[in-house]
C-alpha cells in the first residue's frame, strides 16, 4: 500500500472514497461496502495506515470508516508504551 489510495482495486473509481457533494451519502455507502468486501487483514492494514497518517488519510473512507469513525477508533485503542521492556 503506497498510502495515497484507499483502495487497491483497479476496477474501483477512487473518487467514491471521498464522499463529498450531493451524492456523499451514496458514495459513503458504496465505499463502506467495498471496504467490507476486502479481506480482514487488508482492512486492518488499511486502518493502521489511516490511523498512523491522519492528515494524508484526510476525509476519505479508509477500512470502511469515515474520518470521525477513525478518530473514535483511535481514541478507543489502548495506548502503546514506548518504554523498553526489561
Residue ranges per structural domain of the chain: 16-75
pLDDT tier at 1, thresholds 50, 70, 90: very low
Candidates 1, 65, 53; CA nearest to 28 is 65
pLDDT tier at 84, thresholds 50, 70, 90: low
What confidence score (pLDDT) does residue 73 get?
86
User: What's the CA gap between 56 and 41, in Å, rounded?
Assistant: 21
What confidence score (pLDDT) does residue 26 get?
93
What is the pTM (predicted TM-score) of this model?
0.77
Q: What is the mean pLDDT of residues 59-75?
A: 92
pLDDT tier at 82, thresholds 50, 70, 90: low
Amino acid at each position: 500500500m503506497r498510502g495515497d489510495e484507499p483502495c487497491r482495486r483497479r476496477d474501483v473509481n477512487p473518487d467514491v472514497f471521498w464522499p463529498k457533494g450531493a451524492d456523499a451519502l451514496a458514495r459513503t455507502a458504496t465505499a463502506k461496502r467495498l471496504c467490507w468486501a476486502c479481506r480482514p487483514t487488508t482492512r486492518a492494514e488499511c486502518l493502521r495506515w489511516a490511523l498512523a497518517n491522519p492528515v494524508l488519510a484526510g476525509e476519505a473512507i479508509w477500512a470502511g470508516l469515515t474520518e470521525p469513525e477513525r478518530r473514535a477508533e483511535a481514541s478507543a485503542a489502548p495506548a502503546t508504551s514506548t518504554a523498553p521492556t526489561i
